[in-house]
Structure 1
C-alpha cells in the first residue's frame, strides 16, 4: 500500500482544474418547471386607498379623448379667466402647440401691402410665439417668480386663444367687407382679443410674482400679445 504525497495530490488537482472547460458547470444549471419565466408589468395601486387605475392597458382612443378633454377644459379657463390653478397644476404644451400652428397657418401667405412675399411666414410666426414665451418666462424667473418654466409656457401659450379666434374672425370679415369698414371691425375684434389675452395671462400669473415687481412682469406680456395682435390686424390675403 502506497501513500500519495500531499504535495503531489495538490498538483494533480491543479492540473485537473486547468484542463477543465471554462463553462462546464453551466450544463448542470436548470430552471424548475414551477418557476415562471415571463414577467408581470402591472403597476401597483397606491397604498393610500385612492381609486387609481393603471393606464398601461388603456386603449389609445381613451387616452386621446382624455387629453382632448383636458385641453378643452383649459380653453374654457382662458375664455373665462379667473384666479385658478388649473393651468398651473395640470400644465401641458399640446394646447399652445395647437394654437401656434393654427395661428401660423392662418397668417401664412398674407401681406399688409399687397406683396405676396411680405407677409409673415409659418416659421416666423412659430419663432415669434415660442421665442417670445421663453423670453417672458425667463424674465419672470429672474424677477423672483415662483412659477416653473413649463407652467409659464403653458399659460402664455393657452392665452393666445382669444387672438387665434380674432384671427379667424378677421379672415371671415375680409371675405365679406373691404376698405374702412373692414379695418374698423378688425380693429375692434383684435383690440378686444388683445385685452382678453393680456388679462387672462396676468390673472393666472399674478400670484406667482413678487408684489413689488408685477409691473415688470406684465409689461413684456403686454408687448408679446401686442406684436401678435399687430400681425393679425395688418394681415390681408395675398392675391
Structure 2
C-alpha cells in the first residue's frame, strides 16, 4: 500500500508547475485564413481603429449604392449607421425649408415627419417583403432601404444649392424637379437590384410597388420643402 501511495504522489507531482499553452482548432484557423478574416478579437483593438473601420465600411456601402453592381454587399454585413446619417442629414436640410416656413417656426413637425416616413416606411416595406415570402432578414431590408436614400439625399443637396445660389423661378423649379426625379429613379433602381432576388419570382411586382411608393414620398418631401 505504501508503494502504491508513493507512486500516486509521484504521478501528481509531475504536474506541480502551471500548464500554459494555446488551444487551437486547425480546421477553424484554416477557415479563417481562407475567408481572409482578421484573427484578432475586435474587442481588443483601439477605438480609433474601430471607428475608422466602420467608416470605411459605410463608405463602401455608399459606393455600392451609387454603382449597384455587386448585389450582396449591403446584405452580407448590414448596419444602420448609413441610414441614420442620411436621415439626420436630410432632416437638417429639410428643417431649414423655405424662408416663409422658417419664419413661421414650422420646423418641428417637419423633423418628425421625415423620421416617421423613413423609419416607419422602411419597416412597412420590409414587413410587406416578408409577408410575400422574401428570404431576407428584417434588418437587412431596412439597411438596404436606408442606404438607397443616398441618391435622394444628393438630389436634396443639389436643390438646396440651386436655391441658395439663384432666385426662385419656374425654370429653376423644373431643374429641381428633374434632379429630384433622377434621385428617386436611382434610389428605386438600386433598391431593386439589392432586394429583387430575395423575392419569389411571381411576386416581385408586389414587392417593388411599396419601394416605389416609399422613395416617391421622400422625393416629394424633397421637392416640396426646398
Q: Which category describes the TM-score, using the shorter chain as reference length?
A: 0.7 to 0.9
Which whole-Å CA distance do the structure 2 matches of 1:43 and 1:191 have between them? 58
> SS state of the match for residue 121, structure 1?
helix
From the CA coordinates, give the structure whose radius of gyration is larger.
1
Contact kept? 2:58, 2:82, Cα under 8 Å = yes
Contact kept? 2:82, 2:146, Cα under 8 Å = yes
Which whole-Å CA distance do the structure 2 matches of 1:219 and 1:108 have between them? 28
1:76 pairs with 54, 63, 68, which one?
63
Which whole-Å CA distance do the structure 1 matches of 2:94 and 2:24 have between them? 49
Residue 117 of structure 1 and its aligned partner are, at CA, apart by 4.4
Q: Does 1:227 align with 2:212?
A: no
Q: 1:107 aligns to what?
A: 94
Superposition TM-score, scaled by structure 1 size: 0.77
Q: Judging changes above 3 Å, is the alpha-carbon distance between structure 1 residues 48 and 221 closer, same or farther for their aligned structure 2 residues?
A: same
Which whole-Å CA distance do the structure 2 matches of 1:43 and 1:76 have between them? 41
Q: 1:29 aligns to what?
A: none
Q: 1:116 aligns to what?
A: 104
Which whole-Å CA distance do the structure 2 matches of 1:45 and 1:67 have between them? 29
Which whole-Å CA distance do the structure 2 matches of 1:223 and 1:180 have between them? 26
Q: CA RMSD in A?
A: 2.4
Contact kept? 2:64, 2:70, Cα under 8 Å = no
Q: Does 1:53 align with 2:40?
A: yes
Residue 57 of structure 1 and its aligned partner are, at CA, apart by 2.0
Residue 58 of structure 1 and its aligned partner are, at CA, apart by 0.7
Q: Which runs of 5+ in 2 are unaligned?
A: 1-16, 34-38
Contact kept? 1:145, 1:208, Cα under 8 Å = yes
1:193 pairs with 183, 205, 211, which one?
183
Residue 118 of structure 1 and its aligned partner are, at CA, apart by 4.9
> SS state of the match for residue 42, structure 2?
coil
Which whole-Å CA distance do the structure 2 matches of 1:162 and 1:99 have between them? 10
> SS state of the match for residue 44, structure 2?
coil
Q: 1:142 aligns to what?
A: 131
Which whole-Å CA distance do the structure 1 matches of 2:112 and 2:219 have between them? 17
Q: 2:3 aligns to what?
A: none
